[in-house]
Amino acid sequence: MRWAALAALGVLIALPAVVGSYTLTVLIFVFFYAYLGQAWNIVGGYAGQLSVGHAAFVGIGAYTAAMLSLGAGLTPWLGMFVGGALSAALGAVIGYLGFRFGLRGFYFVLLTVAFAEICRIVALNTEAIGGAQGLYITFTGNPRQFQFPDNRAYYYIALGLMLAATAVVWTIERKRFGIYLTAIREDEDACQALGVDTFKYKMLAMVVSSFLTGVGGTFYAFYLFSLQPNTVFGIPLSVEIVIRPIVGGAGTLGGPILGSFILSPLAELSRFYFARGGWSGAHLIVYGGLLILVVLFLPQGAYPYLRRLLARRA
Amino acid sequence: MRVINFAHGDMMVWGMYLAWLLATRLGIDPYLGFVGCAAALFVVGLVVQRGLVDRIVDAPHEMQILLMLGVALVLENGALLAFGPEPQRVRSALTLSTFWLGPLFVDVARLVTFAVAVALSLALYLFLFGTDLGRTIRAAADNAYGALVIGADVRRVYAVAFGIGAACVGAAGALVSPFLPFQPSAGLAASVTSFNIVIIGGMGSLLGAFVGGLLVSVAESLGAVFLAPSLKELVSFSLLILILLFRPAGLFGRRAG
Amino acid sequence: MARPVLEVRGLSKHFGGLEAVKDLSFDVDEGQIVGLIGPNGAGKTTVFAMLSGFLRPDAGEVGFRGCAITGLPPHRVNALGLARTFQIVRPFLHLSVLRNVTVGALGRQPRPREAERQATAILEEVGLATKREQPAGSLTLAERKRLELARALATQPVLLLLDEVMAGLGAAETERIVELVRRINRRGIAILLIEHVMRAVMSLSERLVVLNYGERIAEGRPEAVAGDPRVIEAYLGEGDAGAAPA
């Protein structure tokens, strides 16, 4: 397993030397969404608290870094941490309300959706941050401004983000924190009876998850150069974040990565197909169908299934 | 019922589009067509419950949420694919007819919609409290195991209940389509409004749904009057958060176990 | 003279119009086994929920090792050394047996490897060592009951509340659990147990507290309680003479 992972990593590092720019772009999205999925995985997968509002953290991170860069000239390399911190603050608020008031399952989903939608509406109506027009970042190609003329730079940054988030989750898995999270997902009351402060650990999971997601917002802003409230705060982005770990296997280390390798090219393909027909956004129908299929036939996701399959071979 | 339908609003939007199809293709006025819409959505509801939700009744609650999210995505984007993103409106013979009732300016279309909605709610009430099947549905909602013990086919009861719910939103969609322009993305807002209403009113309480509907509509209209119209949604979502935090069992509902 | 480890004073709880527990007082001494018995619906499980912090009492005090623990959240109560099991066992179904017990051990031993070592030792003790790698969902009811006990034990309690750990088990399994409970008690852990299997309670308990309709109707040594006319009437009144202590 370890050797396979190392070999795959080697291939990914070497890949930009051989593949074309379109493939590179697709891979950048694979890594980036795997990163966001891995961040979500901490609270949504391990702790089992289904957030369908993670777009809010991407949006806050993206807008913060962009505004700091455009307005105050702060380099996004620092702005990304400010964005992460603000996202974590919102995550703490949502977590506090959700966990203190005991909102579980469906009610927690609604709470996260409501917060993301409120962020979107506020951004739409705040002229100071561009309102419905959004923000545009002029391309300078200056690495200090998180801008690179060469797509390969973005490739390695996205790969780095994915690996970093995976390392964070790998570490969490091995600590008391991670063990507690998986137990909380199974049965919260039983955890409390065993002395686990479930509120504290759920909060911690939410804060770490929203921080990482917020950091990802900077990449989003400075890779795409434009931010619109409906795209960075919208429910479709939240769905993009949620669906990869779920298809790949929520609460597993490899799930978000596997899910992103399956879904990002598929999304790219269907988006291309539907956009050509003039139905932009309709690729979500594919996600919907996939979600239904996974729930019905592969509830643990693809990763545990694949591992069992490999174990049987070996 | 404890099945939470994410696709509620999207089903309503489909009701609207079906009314639009009936009106534009077959020339059927939505005030007649709503019956057809209700029937079609009844089948959709039945299929979703029987074919999907039923298969995972024993799975964790999260799975059901994801499943309904998937259904909502398929419905919303199916509508987008079929009808395009432009807002639509259905013409009805009644749309432009108005009259003065003393000092009141009455829009006939809205009046008819109101009357039919009240009639449908009454019919639903009579069905749930006056017929055997209705009583079984309420019993199954209270206690699935108990209903099973007394010999009710719980799966069939759930399927019918789900179908009736879908039929109601289908009819509602058709009934408001003459004066409420709609587009595929309207589903979520409709879902949120109905969650607000149901949660305020209390899950599984009909009277609660009435009072909740009144409260939510008044709050949203007030928001639209005093704030910019684009902030109207802000009111519904803020309301949703407050409701979630402070009234999990609703004004008239019982707290879920 | 043994000091009380648990002191319950005037504990009351009502749900709507129903008074589930009424002005209940009793002690559990250090290292003692006390049985809490009574007909179905007498309020025993409600008492456990209040002692372990899952339910806030309407009135009354719970003292544990000299501190007032009334109203503390469950995890704090557990951290102080009071552990409970659930009547309907609640294993983490998708986690391994070892993981289940490790979660309990991590409260006192934050390092996972060390906690796992402790958990392994406890699994040996309850006879589940061979199943350690299996998911808890694959265990039989009898094994789940022992897992429930092992998990609670892993939190290193001073007092263990056992809620019907023998219910639904066969004679041989019941005997094993009785033996296990005795062994745990010999290590100095006080035990308060709710049990319907009368032979087991009578042989294990030094003292019995009998509840009926939320009120304490008798307390004392098992032999004395068994002969108490109010106790016999409470059980016979239930129309289930078979469950009467004899």
Q: Would strands C67-68 and C59-64 be described as parallel, antiparallel, or unpaired?
A: antiparallel
Low-confidence ranges of chain C (pLDDT < 70): 1, 236-246
Alpha helices in B27-102 (DSSP H): 30-47, 61-83
Of A125, A235, A290, the CB nearest to B228: A125
Residues of chain B with pLDDT under 50: 1, 251-257
Taking residue A289's Cβ as centre, other Cβ atoms within 10 Å add up to: 16
**Cβ pairs A/B, distance under 8 A:** 115
Task: Name which of A96, A106, A122 to mutate to probe chain B: the one with the most chain B Cβ atoms within 10 A of its Cβ.
Answer: A106
Chain C CB contacts of A176 below 8 Å: 106, 110-112, 115
DSSP letter for B181, please: -
Which residue in C54, C95, C151 is closest to A194 by CB distance?
C151
Q: What is the model's pLDDT at position C56?
A: 92
CA dihedral A102, A108, A111, A117 (to 10 degrees): 160
Q: What is the pLDDT of residue B101?
A: 67
Chain A positions in Cβ-Cβ contact with residue C85 (cut-off 8 Å)? 193
What letter does residue B5 receive in the DSSP assignment? Answer: -
Name the residue facing B62 among A103, A105, A124 (closest C-beta).
Answer: A105
Residue of C nearest to A174 (CA): C112
Q: Report CB contact under 8 Å: A191, C103.
A: yes
Can you tell me the distance from the alpha carbon of A15 to that of A275, in angstroms, rounded to the nearest whole number? 28
pLDDT tens for B122-180 read: 787 777 777 777 777 777 666 666 655 555 667 777 788 888 888 888 888 888 887 77
pLDDT band per the 50, 70, 90 thresholds, residue A265: confident
Q: Which domains does chain C have, with CATH numbers?
A: 4-241 (3.40.50.300)
Residue B151 is classified by DSSP as: T
Give me the residue from C85, C100, C112 closest to A176, CB to CB. C112
8 A C-beta contact, residue B216 and residue B200: yes
For residue C216, what are the contacts with CB-CB under 8 A and spacing of at least 6? Answer: C24, C25, C26, C209, C210
Judged by a CB distance cut-off of 8 A, whether residue A168 touches chain B is: no
Per the prediction, chain B carries an average pLDDT of 76
ipTM of the complex: 0.89
Tell me which of C106, C113, C122, C162 to substitute to probe the interface with A (most A C-beta atoms closer than 10 Å): C106
Cβ distance A176 to C110 less than 8 Å, yes or no, reads yes
Say if residues C135 and C94 touch (Cβ distance below 8 Å): yes
Those residues of chain B whose CB sits closer than 8 Å to some CB in chain A are 4, 52, 55-56, 59, 61-63, 65-67, 69-78, 80-81, 84-85, 188, 192, 195, 228, 230-231, 233-234, 237-238, 240-241, 244-245, 248
Q: Kindly determine whether residue A279 and residue B84, on different chains, have CB atoms separated by under 8 Å.
A: yes
Identify all chain B residues contacting A284, using CB atoms and an 8 Å cutoff: 73, 76-77
For the four alpha carbons of C176, C120, C64 and C5, in that order, the dihedral sign comes to positive
Nearest-neighbour CA in chain C from A258: distance (Å) = 21
Q: Which residue has the higher pLDDT, A280 or A112?
A: A112
Which of B10, B58, B73, B81 to substitute to test the interface with A, most A CBs within 10 Å? B73
Terminal CA-to-CA distance of chain C, rounded, Å? Answer: 30
Size of interface A-C (CB pairs under 8 A): 78
Phi and psi torsions of B235, nearest 5°: -65, -45
Hey, are the CB atoms on B192 and A103 less than 8 Å from each other? no
A48 CB within 8 Å of a chain B CB: yes
Angle between helices A235-248 and A302-313 (to 10 degrees): 20
Whether pTM > 0.90 for this model: the answer is no
Between CA B215 and CA B201 the distance in angstroms is 9
Mean pLDDT score of chain A: 90
Q: What is the dihedral of CA A8, A14, A16, A20, to 10 degrees?
A: -80
Helix/strand/coil (H/E/C) assignment for every residue in chain C: CCCEEEEEEEEEEEECCEEEEEEEEEEEECCCEEEEECCCCCCHHHHHHHHCCCCCCCEEEEEECCEECCCCCHHHHHHCCEEECCCCCCCCCCCEHHHHHHHHHCCCCCCHHHHHHHHHHHHHHHCCHHHCCCEHHHCCHHHHHHHHHHHHHHCCCCEEEEECCCCCCCHHHHHHHHHHHHHHHHCCCEEEEECCCHHHHHHHCCEEEEEECCEEEEEECHHHHHCCHHHHHHHHHCCCHHHCCC
For the stretch B72-82, pLDDT in tens is 889 888 888 88
Name residues whose C-beta falls within 8 Å of residue C35's C-beta, 6 or more positions apart in sequence. C192, C193, C194, C195, C201, C202, C204, C205, C207, C208, C209, C222
Q: How far is CA A292 from the centre of its chain?
A: 21
Q: How confident is the model at residue A277 (pLDDT cuts 50, 70, 90)?
A: low
Question: Cα(C195)–Cα(C181) distance, rounded to whole angstroms?
Answer: 13
Q: Is there a contact between A295 and B66 if contact means CB atoms under 8 Å apart?
A: yes
Task: Read off the DSSP letter of residue B255.
Answer: P
Question: CB distance A179–C99 less than 8 Å?
Answer: yes
Q: Which of A117, A122, A292 sits opposite B71 (nearest CB)?
A: A292
CB contact under 8 A, A292 and B74: yes
Number of CB atoms found within 10 A of residue C196's CB: 16
Q: Please indicate whether residue A104 or residue A81 has the higher confidence score (pLDDT).
A: A81
**In whole angstroms, what separates CA A15 from the centre of its chain?**
23
Nearest to A179 among C84, C103, C154 (CB): C103
Residue from the list A179, A186, A198 with its beta carbon closest to the beta carbon of C93: A186
Q: Report pLDDT for C246.
A: 40
Q: If residue B110 lies in a helix (H) or strand (E), which one and from where to where?
A: helix B108-130
* Residues of chain A with C-beta less than 8 angstroms from the C-beta of B245: 97, 101, 103
A121 reaches B (C-beta below 8 A): yes
Instruction: Answer with the residue of higher pLDDT: B224 or A244.
Output: A244
- Which token pair is C235? 């059980």
- The mean per-residue pLDDT over the stretch A137-151 comes to 85
Closest to B186 measured CA to CA, from B37, B86, B38, B45: B86
Residue C148's closest chain A neighbor by CA? A190
Contacts of A249 in chain C (CB under 8 A): none
Out of B4, B70, B248, the one facing A288 most closely (by C-beta) is B70
Q: Which chains does chain C touch, 3 or more C-beta pairs < 8 A?
A: A
Mean predicted confidence (pLDDT) in A83-96: 97
Main-chain dihedrals φ then ψ at residue C154, nearest 5 degrees: -65, -20
Higher pLDDT, A277 or C63: C63
Subunits adjacent to chain B (3 or more Cβ pairs under 8 Å): A
* CA of C157 vs chain A CAs: smallest distance (Å): 10
Secondary structure of residue B158 in the 3-state scheme: helix
Would you list the domain boundaries of chain A? 2-232
Q: What is the DSSP letter of B57?
A: T
DSSP state, residue B253? P
Confidence of residue A229 (pLDDT cuts 50, 70, 90): very high
A200, closest residue in chain C (CA to CA)? C75
Interchain proximity C112–A193, CB inside 8 Å: no
Question: Whole-angstrom Cα distance, residue B92 to residue B112?
Answer: 11
Between C79, C91, C103, which is nearest A180 by CB? C103
* Residues in chain B, overall count: 257
Q: According to the model, what pLDDT value does residue C230 have?
A: 84
Using CB atoms, which residue from B70, B244, B248 is nearest to A292?
B70
Report the residue of chain C nearest A186, measured CA to CA.
C92
Q: Chain A: give the shortest CA distance to residue C40, in Å.
A: 23
Tell me the percentage of chain A whose pLDDT exceeds 70.
96
